[in-house]
C-alpha cells in the first residue's frame, strides 16, 4: 500500500508543480466553450434544443478528462526511456501494485483537470441545475478518468516510442470524443453514427455528467454507471496484464 501511495503522490505532485501545463491544458476547453457555445448557441436554440452552452459544458469537461487521462500513459514510455521504470520494477513490489499506483495517480490528475474545466465553465456562464449534484458528477469524472488512464497505460505498455504513442492516441482520442455526443444530441442519428456512439465508453460518462449537471440525458443514469463500471473493470484488468508483461 505504501508503494501505491508513493506512486499516486508522485503523479499528483508532478501535475501540481507544472503550472504551464495546467494553464495550457485549459486553452482548448476554453476555445470550445466560447467558439462553439456562443457560436452555435442561436442555432441550437432555434432548433428547440434549449441553451447550447449548458448542453456543451459536460462534453467539454469530458474532453478535458479524456485528453489528460489517456496521455498520462506517455509517462510510462518516458520513465522506461530514462530508466526510472526499471528502478521501480526491480523493487520488491508486485507489478500490479505499481500499475495500480500509477493509474490512480493519473486518474486523480485527470479528475483534477476535469474539475478545473468545470470551474472554467462557471466563469463562461454555465450553471448546474442542482449544485448538490456537483459532487456526484465529480465522482463520475473520477470513474471516467480511471477508465481512460487504464487504457492509456495498456497502450503505452506495448510501445517504446513516444511519437508512436502520440500518433495512436490522436487517432483514438479524437473519434472517442467526437462520437461521444459531447457536441451534439444522440437523438435521430444515422445508424452508423448511432452504433459508434453506443460502443464509445465516453458516451456514457458524458451522458451521466449531463444527467447530474443539467438534469437531461439520453440514457438512464443507472445504465451509464453500469456500462462505465464494466468498461473500467475491463481496461484496468487489460492494463494490469499488459503492464505485467512490459520489458525494460
Model confidence pLDDT, tens digit, residues 106-134: 888 889 889 999 998 888 888 888 889 99
Instruction: Report the distance separating Cα 204 and Cα 140, nearest Å.
Output: 10
Give residue 131's Cα distance to chain centre.
22
Per the rule left: phi > 0, alpha: psi between -120 and 50, beta: everything else, 50 is left
Quickly tell me which residue has 510510462 as its cell: 76
Q: What is the mean pLDDT of residues 175-191?
A: 88
| % the chain with pLDDT above 70 | 81
| Residue-averaged pLDDT of the chain | 82
- The pLDDT tens digits of the residues spanning 200-233 come to 999 999 999 999 999 888 899 999 999 999 999 9
Question: pLDDT exceeding 90 applies to what percent of the chain?
Answer: 25
Question: 157 with 143: CB under 8 angstroms?
Answer: no
Alpha-carbon torsion 190, 191, 192, 193, what sign? positive
pLDDT band per the 50, 70, 90 thresholds, residue 247 = low
Check if the beta carbon of residue 44 is closer than 8 Å to that of residue 38: no
Name the residue among 71, 90, 232 with its Cα closest to residue 153.
71
Give pTM, 2 decimals: 0.88
- Per-residue pLDDT, 1: 54
Specify the 3-state DSSP secondary structure of 138: helix
Domain boundaries, the chain: 2-244
**Strand residues in the chain grouped as ranges (E):** none
Condensed to tens digits (0 to 9), the pLDDT of residues 61-93 reads 999 899 888 887 777 777 676 666 666 666 666
Task: Kindly tell me if the per-residue pLDDT of 25 is higher than 80.
Answer: no
Residue-level length of the chain: 248
Amino acid at each position: 500500500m505504501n508503494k501505491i501511495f508513493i506512486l499516486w503522490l508522485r503523479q499528483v505532485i508532478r501535475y501540481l508543480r507544472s503550472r504551464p501545463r495546467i494553464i495550457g491544458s485549459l486553452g482548448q476547453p476554453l476555445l470550445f466553450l466560447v467558439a462553439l457555445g456562443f457560436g452555435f448557441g442561436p442555432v441550437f436554440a432555434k432548433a428547440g434544443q434549449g441553451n447550447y452552452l449548458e448542453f456543451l459544458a459536460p462534453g467539454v469537461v469530458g474532453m478535458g478528462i479524456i485528453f489528460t487521462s489517456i496521455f498520462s500513459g506517455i509517462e510510462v514510455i518516458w520513465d522506461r526511456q530514462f530508466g526510472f521504470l526499471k528502478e521501480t520494477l526491480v523493487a520488491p513490489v508486485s507489478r500490479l501494485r505499481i500499475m495500480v499506483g500509477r493509474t490512480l495517480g493519473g486518474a486523480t490528475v485527470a479528475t483534477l483537470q476535469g474539475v478545473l474545466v468545470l470551474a472554467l465553465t462557471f466563469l463562461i456562464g454555465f450553471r448546474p441545475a442542482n449544485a448538490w449534484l456537483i459532487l456526484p458528477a465529480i465522482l463520475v469524472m473520477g470513474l471516467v478518468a480511471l477508465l481512460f488512464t487504464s487504457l492509456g497505460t495498456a497502450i503505452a505498455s506495448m510501445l517504446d516510442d513516444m511519437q508512436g504513442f502520440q500518433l495512436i492516441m490522436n487517432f483514438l482520442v479524437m473519434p472517442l470524443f467526437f462520437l461521444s455526443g459531447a457536441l451534439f444530441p444522440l437523438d435521430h442519428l444515422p445508424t452508423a453514427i448511432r452504433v459508434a456512439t453506443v460502443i464509445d465508453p465516453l458516451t456514457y460518462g458524458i451522458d451521466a455528467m449531463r444527467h447530474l449537471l443539467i438534469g437531461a440525458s439520453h440514457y438512464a443514469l443507472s445504465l451509464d454507471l453500469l456500462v462505465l463500471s464494466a468498461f473500467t473493470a475491463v481496461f484496468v484488468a487489460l492494463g494490469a496484464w499488459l503492464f505485467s508483461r512490459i520489458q525494460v
